[in-house]
Amino acid sequence: MSSSNNLSEIDRQVLWNRLISVVEEQAQTLIRTAFSNTVREAGDLSAGVFDLKGRMLAQAVTGTPGHVNAMAASVGFFLDELDIQGMAPGDVFITNDPWKGTGHLNDFTVLTPTFLDGQLVAFFASTSHVADVGGIGFGPDGRQVYEEGINIPIMPLFQRGVLNTHLMSILQVNVREPLPVEGDLHALAACNDIGCRRLVATMQEFGLADLDDMADYIIENSHAAMLAEIRELPQGVYEYAMRCDGYDKPVDLVARMTIGNEGIAIDFTGTSPVSSYGINVPLTYTQAYASFGVRCIVGSSVPNNAGSLAPIVVTAPEGSIVNAPRPCAVSARHVIGQMLPDVVLGCLGHALPDRVPAEGSSSLWNPVLLGGHGLVGDADYGDATPFAINIFHSGGAGARPGRDGLSATAFPSGVRNTPVEINETIAPIVVWRKEYRPDSGGPGRYRGGLGQTMEIAHAQGAPFAISAMSDRVTHPARGRFGGGDAATGAVRLRDGGPLRAKGRQTIPAGDSLILEMPGGGGLGEVRDRPGQDVERDLRDGLISEDAARRDYGSKSTS
The CA distance from 125 to 59, in Å, is: 10
- 65 pLDDT tier (thresholds 50, 70, 90): confident
Tell me the residue length of the chain. 558
The CA distance from 68 to 60, in Å, is: 9
Question: For residue 180, what is the DSSP state?
Answer: H
Closest C-alpha to 395, from 499, 306, 518: 518
Q: To the nearest whole number, what is the mean pLDDT of the chain?
A: 95
The CA distance from 8 to 53, in Å, is: 24
Global pTM value: 0.95
Domain ranges, ordered by start, for the chain: 4-224, 357-558
DSSP line for 215-268: HHHHHHHHHHHHHHHHTTSPPEEEEEEEEE--SSS-EEEEEEEEEETTEEEEE-
pLDDT tens digits, 378-410: 999 999 999 999 999 999 999 999 999 999 999
pLDDT tens digits, 438-493: 999 999 999 999 999 999 999 999 999 999 999 999 999 999 999 999 999 999 99
The CA distance from 230 to 234, in Å, is: 9
pLDDT at residue 187 in the model: 97
pLDDT at residue 43 in the model: 87
What HEC string does 433-464 produce? EEEECCCCCCCCCECCCCCEEEEEEECCCCCE
| Average pLDDT, integer, range 173-182 | 92
The CA distance from 85 to 452, in Å, is: 53
The CA distance from 526 to 67, in Å, is: 37
The CA distance from 175 to 149, in Å, is: 8
pLDDT at residue 315 in the model: 98
pLDDT reading at 3 higher than 70 = no
pLDDT reading at 42 higher than 70 = yes
What HEC string does 502-515 produce? EEEEEECCCCCEEE
pLDDT reading at 104 higher than 50 = yes
pLDDT tens digits, 312-361: 999 999 999 999 999 999 999 999 999 999 999 999 999 999 999 999 99
The CA distance from 558 to 554, in Å, is: 7
pLDDT reading at 558 higher than 50 = no
* 3-class DSSP state of 470: coil
DSSP line for 476-506: PPPPBTTPPPPPP-EEEETTS-B--SEEEEE
Q: How many CA atoms lie within 13 A of 534 on its CB side?
A: 24
The CA distance from 286 to 242, in Å, is: 15
- 173 pLDDT tier (thresholds 50, 70, 90): very high
Question: For residue 63, what is the DSSP state?
Answer: S
* 3-class DSSP state of 104: coil
pLDDT reading at 264 higher than 70 = yes
Q: How far is CA 542 from CA 436, 444, 451, 529, 557, in A?
A: 8, 14, 10, 15, 16
Lowest mean pLDDT of 34-48, 138-152, 506-520, name the range. 34-48
pLDDT reading at 219 higher than 80 = yes
Task: List CB contacts of 462: < 8 A, sequence separation 6 or more.
Answer: 371, 376, 381, 382, 384, 428, 509
Contact 67, 42 (CB under 8 A): no
The CA distance from 191 to 127, in Å, is: 10
The CA distance from 59 to 26, in Å, is: 10
pLDDT tens digits, 360-381: 999 999 999 999 999 998 999 9
- 2 pLDDT tier (thresholds 50, 70, 90): low
Helices 65-81 and 283-295: crossing angle, nearest 10°? 130
Question: What is the CA angle 450-455-461, rounded to 5?
Answer: 170
Q: Are strands 45-50 and 107-116 parallel, antiparallel or unpaired?
A: unpaired
pLDDT reading at 556 higher than 70 = no
Phi, psi (5° rounding) for residue 156?
-70, 135
Q: How far is CA 215 from CA 51, 194, 210, 219, 306, in A?
A: 7, 20, 9, 6, 10
Amino acid sitting at position 97: D
Closest C-alpha to 519, from 433, 409, 419: 409
Q: How far is CA 392 from CA 41, 344, 470, in A?
A: 9, 24, 11
